[in-house]
Every structure is written in structure tokens, then in C-alpha cells.
Amino acid sequence: MIRNHEIDYRVHGEEMQYVEVELDPQETAIAEAGAFMMMDDGIQMQTIFGDGSQQQSGILGKLFSAGKRLLTGESLFMTAYTNIGQGKRRVSFASPYPGKIIPMDLQQLGGKIICQKDSFLCAAKGVSVSLEFQRKLGAGLFGGEGFIMQKLEGDGMAFVHAGGHVTERELHPGEVLKVDTGCIVGFTQHVNYDIQFVGGIKNTLFGGEGVFFATLRGPGKVWIQTLPISRLAGRILAYGTVNRKEEGSILGGLGNLLDGDGR
């Protein structure tokens, strides 16, 4: 059995983090195309089809893997960073929006993590990044981000990005945690995931995002984020498209001046 590349790393920053990966000679890290930040001289960049995992064999395997990545909304291609020099070299990958980078040692986490489709940042070469189907079609119709998810498999290091603050919970067998679908970053393979409808006309009319939520049943480990990218994007869109000149009849234009809108 061929093991994943063993890489050392260090996470820098607080709100806008980046991860610095240290590569020994001939070691390789893989990342999404837009994750690159900086690297030392002596590191070779190469565009690869799919995730470049060593488990793939032949063109059909690569096409299937790339197709699954396309279904999760990711690019068909990834970038491999290989140290072709004599000594250690470093390459850094940055988070795309405010939040935290979560290092995950897949060997210690059972060899498989299921995560949100846009949360993967980078990993050691050999980690497989592919599609994870949920059993219930309802999750795809009503759960938003909940249906199409990614799975990270292997025995190496993988790095996942989450929005805002991240909390980690260890669920005991049978223990249930109810979470907004967008707030789930990831969970280990033995956690049971489902979508639940909140009944009642008041919840339907006034509950907003609370009409549907996810239920996570242990045993296993889960990671929860406070700021899903969908929620952040929705607020930015609402702020930029609504005419705010008359907001707050008492302050009026003064209120807009104080928050930076001096029109």
C-alpha cells in the first residue's frame, strides 16, 4: 500500500489565515487553483486532472474523479506543488474569506472526512477528493448545501477552510446535534447525516432559514462554523442592492454618513 506524502505545516494568522506547508525533496502538496499564496524557489507547479491521488489508475479513473469534482462545483483541475530542490521548501495557501483553517490528519480520523463542497483548501498528495452522495433526495431539494458534499480519503494531512469561528464537537453513540445546514463544515464517516423539517405554520412563515436543518447523530466528530459563505454572500448582496438612503427616519442621512455612505 502506498502512503500519502507526509508534510509538515504551520497555520498563520487569526481572522484571515494561511497555511504554510513544508515539503521535503520530491514531496508534493495539492490545492485548489485559487488557493495559492506564495512559495519558495525550487517548487514546481503542475496542473493535474482530478486530484492526483495515487489510487487512480488509467484515464477512465481520472475522468470519473474529475467528473465527481465537477458535480460538487469545483474545477476539473487542481495544482500540484512539488519540491524539486535539495533542501526543504515552503509553499503557502490562503483562506478565501474570514475564518479558520482546520488541519485534519486523516490517519487519526479514520481515513475519511465528509465536508461541505466548497471547504477543501489543500492536502498532501495522495489524498482523494471526491463526491459524497447523501441517501435522501430530500436533502438535495430542501437542504441547500446539505446534499452534494465532498469526501476526503487517505492517510495524509488535509486542510479545510471554515467561515467565522469554528467549534469542534465529539458526539457519543446515539447523541444528536441539530445544526443549520450551511453551518456544517464536516464530520467523520460514522456520523449519520439527515435533513429534518421543522413543522408548524409559525416556523414556516417566520422561521426563515430554520424551516429545514440538519441532524447529526453520533458517534463521531463534527466541525461547526459560525459564518457560512452563503450567509455572508446573502448579507453582502442585500446590503449592496437595497436603497438605504432613507433608513432610520430619525437619523436619515446622518446614519448613512456614520456607516460610510456619504451620498
- The dihedrals phi and psi of 93, each to the nearest 5 degrees, come to -125, 135
- Find, among 150, 226, 214, the residue nearest to 186 by Cα: 150
pLDDT of residue 100: 94
Three-state secondary structure along 4-18?
CCCCEEEEECCCCCE
Residue type, 9: Y
Provide the residue-wise pLDDT of the chain in tens; the chain has 263 residues. 446 778 899 999 988 899 999 999 999 999 987 899 999 999 999 988 766 664 445 554 554 554 454 544 455 678 999 999 999 999 999 988 889 999 999 999 999 999 987 889 999 998 988 888 655 544 444 444 446 788 899 999 999 999 999 999 999 999 999 998 889 999 999 999 887 776 655 655 555 544 677 889 999 999 999 988 777 777 777 777 655 554 544 445 444 544 445 44
pLDDT of residue 258: 44
Torsion angle of alpha carbons 97, 100, 101, 106, nearest 10°? -130
Q: pTM of the prediction?
A: 0.77
Residue type, 81: Y
Residue 96 C-beta-side C-alpha neighbours within 13 Å: 19
In whole angstroms, give the CA distance from residue 20 to residue 123. 12
Residue 150 C-beta-side C-alpha neighbours within 13 Å: 26
Residue 247 C-beta-side C-alpha neighbours within 13 Å: 11
- The dihedrals phi and psi of 101, each to the nearest 5 degrees, come to -100, 130
Query: Quick check: helix, strand or coil at residue 214?
Result: strand
Q: How far does Cα 74 stand from its chain's mean position?
A: 11
pLDDT of residue 195: 79
pLDDT of residue 49: 76
φ/ψ region of 252 (left if φ > 0, alpha if ψ in -120 to 50, else beta) reads left
In whole angstroms, give the CA distance from residue 163 to residue 161. 7
> Which structural domains are found in the chain, ordered by start?
8-227 (3.60.160.10)
* Other Cβ atoms within 10 Å of 174 Cβ, number: 9
CA distances from 197 to 180, 210, 218, 228 (A): 11, 9, 20, 20
CB neighbour list of residue 149: distance below 8 Å, 6 or more residues apart = 72, 114, 115, 116, 117, 131, 132, 134
